[in-house]
C-alpha cells in the first residue's frame, strides 16, 4: 500500500454570543482590566448559555467544517472529541455529535488530555488515516469551561472561556504534504497542580463536595506557568530540530492560548518572529481543547490566508496531567 498522509481538508468553529469582559469581572471578583491584561493578555471570553452543553457547540463547529469541505456526515469514518467538559460522564460527547450530525457509519470517542486534548486527538486521527483503516476523520476541540470555573476565584475565573472548533482530516492527494510528525508527552506528577477535586470515582459527588466547591478548576498558577513555559517551548523546538528545520522554515506557529507570556517564550525558543505566531487569546481566553483549532480557523479563513501550499506549520500545547506536545504539518491546500 502506498504511503497515506493525513491533511487538514477543512476547518469550522462555533463561538457563543455572550461575552464576559474584564470589566464584567471587576464587578464579580477583586480584579481589574489592567491586572488581567498584564498577566494573561485576555480582554474578554465567550460564555455558553446554561443548559446547552458541549455537544451543542461541537455539532455546530462540525457542521461548518463539513459544509466548507463539501462532505456529507454520512461519509465520515470516525469522530474524536477532545474535551474535559463532556455533556455527561457517559455516553461520550462524540456519540452525541455522531447522532446529531447523522454520521451513521462513523464511530467515535472522547479524549481527555486537558488543553492538549485536540493535539492528542489529532495525532490519533492521523495514525488512523495512515494505517489505511479510516479515510475521513472529524477531530473536534470543544470545552464549556464556564461549567467548571469558580467565579469567586480571582486567579482562575479570568482565564477561561467556551468555544468549539473542528477539523476534517482526509487522505492527502500528494505524498509530500500533510502531517509529518508528532511529539507527545505526559507527566502524571503534575496532578497536584491542575485538577478538579471531586466528581470522579475517587471522590464522587456529595452534598459535602458541592458545598466545599470541589467541582471547579483548582490550579497552582506559578507551578503550572513554570513547567508550561519550559516544556511547551522545548517540545516545539524539538520537533523542528528533529525534522531538520529551523525557525526560519516555519511559516506559522499555532500555540495553545493559555498565556501570552508562555506563547512569546515558545516563539523565542523556536526563533520565530511574532508576525508568524497566531494569537487570539485576547478575544476568547483559554478555551482548553478548542484553542488550537480556533487559531487555525482564523489563519485559514482570513481573506488573505496566512498559509500557502508547501508551508510548514507547527502546533504546540501544554495542559493538565501534565500533558504537552507538538505537531509538524506541511500545508497542502
Tell me, yes or no, if 256 is annotated catalytic: yes
Active-site annotation holds for 115: yes
Tell me the C-alpha distance between 159 and 68, whole Å. 31
The active-site residue, picked from 115, 157, 172, 295, is 115
**Which one of 95, 134, 157, 256 is the catalytic residue?**
256
**Cβ 209 vs Cβ 188: under 8 Å:** no
CA pair distance 252, 246, nearest whole angstrom: 12
Radius of gyration of the chain (CA): 19
Residue with cell 501570552: 260
Catalytic entry in 65, 116, 286, 295: 286
CA 7 vs. chain centroid, Å, equals: 17
- Residue located via cell numbers 473542528: 166
Say if CB 136 and CB 71 are below 8 A apart.
Answer: yes
- Reply yes or no on whether 33 is catalytic: no
Rounded CA-CA distance 5/171 in Å is: 6
- What angle is formed at CA 257 by the lines to CA 251 and CA 260, rounded to 5 degrees? 85
Alpha-carbon distance of 178 to 306, in angstroms, equals 16
158 SS3 class: coil
Q: Which residues are catalytic?
A: 115, 256, 286
Amino acid at each position: 500500500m502506498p504511503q497515506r498522509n493525513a491533511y487538514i481538508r477543512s476547518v469550522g468553529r462555533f463561538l457563543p454570543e455572550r461575552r464576559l469582559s474584564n470589566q464584567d469581572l471587576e464587578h464579580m471578583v477583586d480584579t481589574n482590566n489592567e491586572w488581567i491584561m498584564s498577566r494573561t493578555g485576555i480582554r474578554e471570553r465567550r460564555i455558553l448559555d446554561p443548559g446547552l452543553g458541549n455537544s451543542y457547540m461541537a455539532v455546530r463547529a462540525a457542521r461548518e467544517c463539513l459544509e466548507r469541505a463539501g462532505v456529507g456526515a454520512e461519509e465520515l469514518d470516525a469522530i474524536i472529541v477532545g474535551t474535559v467538559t463532556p455533556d455527561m460522564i457517559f455516553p461520550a460527547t462524540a456519540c452525541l455529535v455522531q447522532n446529531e450530525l447523522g454520521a451513521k457509519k462513523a464511530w467515535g470517542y472522547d479524549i481527555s488530555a486537558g488543553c492538549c486534548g485536540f493535539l492528542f486527538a489529532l495525532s490519533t486521527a492521523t495514525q488512523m488515516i495512515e494505517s489505511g483503516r479510516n479515510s475521513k476523520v472529524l477531530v473536534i476541540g470543544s470545552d464549556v469551561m464556564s461549567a467548571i470555573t469558580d467565579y469567586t476565584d480571582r486567579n482562575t475565573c479570568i482565564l477561561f472561556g467556551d468555544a468549539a472548533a473542528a477539523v476534517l482530516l482526509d487522505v492527502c492527494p500528494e505524498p509530500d504534504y500533510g502531517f509529518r510528525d508528532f511529539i507527545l508527552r505526559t507527566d502524571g506528577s503534575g496532578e497536584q497542580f491542575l485538577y478538579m477535586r471531586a466528581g470522579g470515582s475517587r471522590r464522587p459527588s456529595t452534598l459535602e463536595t458541592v458545598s466545599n466547591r470541589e467541582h471547579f478548576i483548582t490550579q497552582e498558577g506559578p507551578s503550572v506557568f513554570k513547567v508550561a513555559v519550559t516544556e511547551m517551548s522545548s517540545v516545539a523546538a524539538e520537533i523542528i530540530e528533529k525534522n531538520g528545520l529551523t525557525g526560519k522554515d516555519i511559516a506559522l506557529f499555532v500555540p495553545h492560548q493559555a498565556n501570552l507570556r508562555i506563547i512569546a517564550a515558545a516563539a523565542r525558543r523556536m526563533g520565530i518572529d511574532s508576525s508568524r505566531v497566531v494569537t487570539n487569546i485576547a478575544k476568547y481566553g483559554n478555551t482548553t481543547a478548542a484553542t488550537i483549532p480556533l487559531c487555525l480557523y482564523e489563519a485559514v479563513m482570513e481573506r488573505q490566508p496566512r498559509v500557502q501550499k508547501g508551508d510548514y506549520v507547527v502546533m504546540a500545547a501544554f495542559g493538565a496531567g501534565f500533558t504537552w506536545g507538538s505537531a509538524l504539518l506541511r500545508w497542502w491546500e
